[in-house]
Amino acid sequence: MSEYEVQGVGISKIAEEFGTPLYVYDGDEIERTYHALRAGLDKHVQMFYSLKPNPNVSIVSLLRRLGAGAEVCSLGEFKTALAAGVHPSRILFTGPGKSREELELLVAGDVRAIICESFTELGRIDALSRAAGKRTRVLMRVNPSFGVQGGRLTMAGRPRQFGVDEEQLLDAADLVRRHPNTEIIGIQVYTGTRILDADVVVANTGRIFDLADKAADALGITVTMVDIGGGIGLGYFPGETDPDEDVMVKGINEAVTAFRSRHPDAAVAMEPGRYLVARSGTFVTRVRDIKFSRGERFVITDGGTNAAMAAVGLGTAVKRNFPTQFLSDIDRPLAGPCHVTGPLLTPTDVIARNVTLPEVQPGELIGVHMYGAYGPTASIAYMNGQGFPAEVLAYKGRHHLIRKRDTAEDLLSRQIRVDFQDDAEPGALGARSS
Ligand SMILES: *Cc1c(COP(=O)(O)O)cnc(C)c1O
């Protein structure tokens, strides 16, 4: 019998020490992934880790140490990046509904650039900059007219709440003149997420550069940054393969070289999220009960969609199983199909459907792999009083607790109980008390 290990430590020991359900991240894997992508890329490409898939401060700090900046979209993410040690000059701030408080902080804080999502927002940034006696760097986010094939969630070529339509931007010749307190340094385009085909990533990059050419002409600006977004996918399901990194890097580099021959001052920003962290994570959940219902086996665990919602089809039309593994004994022979479910009171609390697993016993551990991305941010943590699970980062052989699990007291601590005058006289259950 051999159990699953994370950096030489058995999963039962990790689960014993930190409890379940649990996210375990392999920091060395994040490091390998980052370096492998970075090493091949043109030196004018700058990496801004998108916090959306995993905003844990230690994950951001690790990526910062590896050389990444941060792409954030809220005060919460912004302060996380700062707490992780990311310098404001290495932060891009995006998001379609920025508050006045956020914009004031960004103008004062000298971030690398604000990614501006509308003309009215540009007006606000300009006014705040004038009041602060500053010029603020801005990337205009563009909703391009080209559609994009190959992503699992397409962002381009449709009506969207993000950015300014390409047609509108190219028609706004007086934009720079009307906003003397902003410096429009270039454009940003985010074309979609979970793009698995390297050629699609490369083709999108080329189209974004073409658009930057047009924007430079139409607005009369000197482009010093083009942000080609994130969205690089990884294979999750049978039949899916990771994008070919060599093809992707070579294609991006060629496009960058060509673009920089026309815009020699331009840096290129990338905002990968999922690609950098997904593979590093395993969601670990402990079996509590086994039952058979109308002939089907249900393996009921202590963590379901309250922690592993991404497995239920975020950004995918069809529900398919994330790679699910019996961790307590990776050699135990497979027994047959089952559904792995959680503790919530909803029939949709299923993290793997008809997945083939060995015979398992209560107390044993099941893992869902590829869980470093979007599990922590896209799950329904508060359903049925569960709260956020613990997070552990294994790095260079040491296992660090990087988030304590929520306790019942934590859930209650933000709530305020109204003192009803008449609640001293309880009536029968279901009856009025007066
Ligand atoms: C979600 C998002 C990202 C990261 O996307 P991934 O698919 O995780 O790489 C980057 N930039 C913006 C603007 C986003 O909304």
**Is the CB of 374 within 6 Å of ligand 1?**
no
Residues comprising the chain, all counted: 434
Q: How does residue 146 score in pLDDT terms, banded at 50, 70 and 90?
A: confident
- Three-point CA angle 221, 226, 227, nearest 5°: 140
**How far, in Å, CA of 332 to CA of 326, rounded?**
8
Residues 68, 406, 77: CA angle, nearest 5 degrees:
30
Q: From the CA of 141, how far away is ligand 1's center (Å)?
A: 13
User: Which residue among 223, 242, 272 closes a domain?
Assistant: 272
Same domain, 400 and 332: yes
119 and 182 share a domain? yes
Model pLDDT, residue 421 = 80
State which H helix or E strand residue 50 sits in.
strand 45-50
Q: How far is the CA of 230 from the centre of ligand 1 (A)?
A: 5
Encoded tokens for 157: 């070529």
Is the same domain home to 393 and 282? yes
Percent of the chain with pLDDT over 70: 94
Closest ligand 1 atom number to CA of residue 373? 8
> Predicted confidence band at 147 (pLDDT cuts at 50, 70, 90)?
low
- The verdict on 299 and 154 lying in the same domain is no
315 pLDDT above the threshold of 60? no
Contact 26, 7 (CB under 8 A): yes
pLDDT of residue 425: 66
Ligand 1 pocket residue status of 52, Cβ below 6 Å: yes
Residues 304-316 have a mean pLDDT of: 75
128 and 163 in a common domain: yes
Pair (370, 289) in one structural domain: yes
What is the residue range of 319's domain? 278-409
Q: Is the C-beta atom of 141 inside 6 A of ligand 1?
A: no
Poorest-pLDDT segment among 10-19, 295-304, 371-380, 421-430: 421-430
In short, whether 94's Cβ falls inside 6 Å of ligand 1 is yes
Report whether residue 144 contacts ligand 1, using a CB cutoff of 6 Å: no
* Confidence at residue 401, expressed as pLDDT on a 0 to 100 scale: 98
Give residue 309's pLDDT.
84
Whole-number pLDDT of residue 157? 73
Label residue 191 by pLDDT band (50, 70, 90): confident
Q: What's the number of domains the chain is made of?
A: 2
For residue range 330-347, list pLDDT tens digits in order: 999 999 999 999 999 999
Cβ–ligand 1 distance for 229 under 6 Å, the answer: yes
pLDDT tens-digit readout, 373-392 = 999 898 889 999 999 999 99
- Nearest residue (by CA) to ligand 1, atom 13, is 190
Whether residue 248 sits in one domain with residue 145: yes
The response to whether residue 93 sits with its C-beta less than 6 Å from ligand 1 reads no
CATH number at residue 234: 3.20.20.10
What distance in angstroms lies between residue 71's CA and the mean position of ligand 1's atoms? 9
